[in-house]
C-alpha cells in the first residue's frame, strides 16, 4: 500500500503543538503506545524502509510508503495493535482508541538510532605481477617435487601411426594427474580428442600389480592379463598444448581424474582412432 499524502499535509504536521510530536529510538523489545484521534492521521517514521505492516483491526486505516506508516481511526471506542517490519527488525505498537486531539500522537519519529549503512564491500587487493609470478613459481616447484615418472621403456613406438606415451603423474589428495605425449610419425595429420579413461580389472584375480606400479604396459602385456572387465572413470579436467598433431610432430597433454582405488590399478587411456589404427595407452598407476 502507498500513502497518498501531499506536501501541504507534511507542512501542517510541522506546526502542530510540540507535545504531539515524539522523538524516540526504535525499541524492538518493548511495545510503543500510540494515541489517536478521529479525523486525524498519525505518522510513524522508521529509521529504514518498511517491508511490511499489519494491524489487528479494520477499524483503522493503515498505509505505508518508504520509511513512513500512516494510520487513521475510523470508529470511536476501538483499539488494536500494529506490527511494522523493516529489513533489519520488527517493531510493536499498541494503538489506543481515539481520544482528544490534544493528546493524540501526530508524529512518532523513530529515526534516531538509524542502522548503520551496510559495510561497503572491500575492494579486492590485486596482486602485482611479482606476487603472481612468485605464486606460480611456488606451485610449479611443488608440482615438480610431487611428480613421479612413468616407465615406458617396454613400449615400442609404431612407425606408421600415432603413439601415446605416459610420461609422469602427480597425486594430490583424491586426484591423479597424468601427463602424456602424443607423437605422429605417419603421413597424415591427426586430430587429438579428449581421452576416455577406463579402469581395467584383470581376468585373473591373482594378478599382483604392485610390482608394475608406475609402468606403462605394452599391448602384448595388457593382453596377457586377459580380457577382464573395464569401468569408465569420469575425467575431471583435460589440457592439451594443441589439438592437431601434424606428421613428425608431438603434442603434450594432461588429464585429471579420481583413482578408483588406493592400491595400484590398470588404467587405459583411449583416444580417437588414427584412420584404421587404434590410439590408446595403458599403465599401472
- pLDDT given for residue 112 in this prediction: 64
**Domain made up of 147-284: CATH architecture:** Sandwich (2.60)
Sequence ranges of the domains in the chain: 7-109, 147-284
User: Got the DSSP string for the chain?
Assistant: ------HHHHHHHTTS-GGGEEE----TTSEEEE---TT--EEEE-SS-EEEEEES-TTEEEEEETTEEEEEE-STT--EEEEEEETTEEEEEEEPPP--GGG--SEEE--TTPPPPPPPPPPPPPPPHHHHHHHHHHHHHHHHHHEEE-B-TT-PPPSSS-EEEEEEEEEETTEEEEEEEEE--SSS-EE--PPEEEEEE-SSTT---GGGTTEEEPHHHHHHT-S-EEEEE-EEEEEES-SEE-TT-EEEEEEEE--S-SS--EEEEE---BTTB--EEEEE-
Query: How far apart are the C-alpha atoms of 82 and 55, rounded to whole Å?
Result: 4
Give the right CATH number for 7-109 from 2.60.40.1550, 2.60.40.10, 2.10.240.10, 3.30.300.20. 2.60.40.1550
Please choose, from the candidates 191, 189, 209, the residue with its C-alpha nearest in 3D space to the C-alpha of residue 199.
209
Give the pLDDT of residue 134: 77
C-alpha count within 13 angstroms, C-beta hemisphere, residue 82: 28
Res 3: pLDDT: 40
Query: pLDDT tens, position by position, for the chain (285 residues)?
Result: 444 333 333 333 333 343 467 777 877 778 888 998 888 888 888 888 999 988 888 899 898 888 888 889 998 999 999 989 888 888 899 999 998 887 887 788 877 655 444 444 455 555 567 777 777 777 777 777 788 999 999 999 999 899 999 999 999 888 999 999 999 999 999 999 999 999 999 887 777 899 999 999 999 998 888 878 999 999 999 999 899 999 999 999 999 999 988 899 999 999 999 988 899 999 999
**So what's the pLDDT on residue 18?**
38
Grid coordinates of 208 = 599382483
Same topology, domains 7-109 and 147-284? Answer is yes
Q: What is the pLDDT, as a whole number, of residue 117? A: 46
Residue 127: the pLDDT is 58
Q: Are 208 and 263 in contact (CB under 8 A)?
A: no
Is 0.85 topped by the overall pTM? no
Amino acid at each position: 500500500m502507498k500513502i497518498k499524502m501531499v506536501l501541504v499535509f507534511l507542512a501542517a504536521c510541522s506546526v502542530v503543538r510540540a507535545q504531539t510530536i515524539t522523538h524516540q529510538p526504535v525499541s524492538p523489545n518493548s511495545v510503543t503506545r500510540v494515541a489517536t484521534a478521529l479525523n486525524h492521521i498519525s505518522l510513524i517514521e522508521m529509521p529504514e524502509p518498511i517491508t511490511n505492516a499489519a494491524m489487528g483491526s479494520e477499524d483503522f486505516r493503515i498505509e505505508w510508503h518508504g520509511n513512513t506508516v500512516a494510520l487513521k481511526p475510523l470508529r470511536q471506542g476501538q483499539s488494536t495493535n500494529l506490527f511494522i517490519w523493516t529489513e533489519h527488525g520488527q517493531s510493536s505498537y499498541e494503538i489506543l482508541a481515539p481520544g482528544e486531539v490534544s493528546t493524540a500522537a501526530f508524529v512518532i519519529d523513530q529515526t534516531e538510532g538509524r542502522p548503520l549503512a551496510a559495510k561497503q564491500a572491500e575492494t579486492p587487493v590485486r596482486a602485482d605481477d611479482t606476487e603472481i609470478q612468485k605464486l606460480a613459481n611456488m606451485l610449479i616447484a611443488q608440482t615438480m617435487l610431487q611428480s613421479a615418472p612413468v616407465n615406458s621403456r617396454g613400449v615400442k613406438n609404431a612407425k606408421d601411426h600415432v603413439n601415446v606415451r605416459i610420461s609422469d603423474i602427480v597425486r594430490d589428495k583424491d586426484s591423479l594427474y597424468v601427463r602424456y605425449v602424443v607423437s605422429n610419425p605417419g603421413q597424415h595429420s591427426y586430430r587429438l580428442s579428449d581421452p576416455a579413461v577406463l579402469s581395467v580389472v584383470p581376468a585373473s584375480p591373482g594378478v599382483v600389480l604392485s610390482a608394475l606400479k608406475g609402468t606403462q604396459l605394452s599391448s602384448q602385456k595388457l593382453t596377457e592379463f586377459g580380457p577382464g572387465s573395464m569401468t569408465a572413470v569420469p575425467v575431471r579436467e583435460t589440457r592439451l598444448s594443441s589439438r592437431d598433431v601434424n606428421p613428425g610432430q608431438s603434442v603434450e597433454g594432461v588429464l585429471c581424474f579420481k583413482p578408483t582405488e588406493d592400491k595400484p590399478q590398470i588404467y587405459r587411456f583411449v583416444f580417437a582412432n588414427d584412420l584404421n589404427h587404434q590410439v590408446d595407452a595403458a599403465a599401472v598407476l
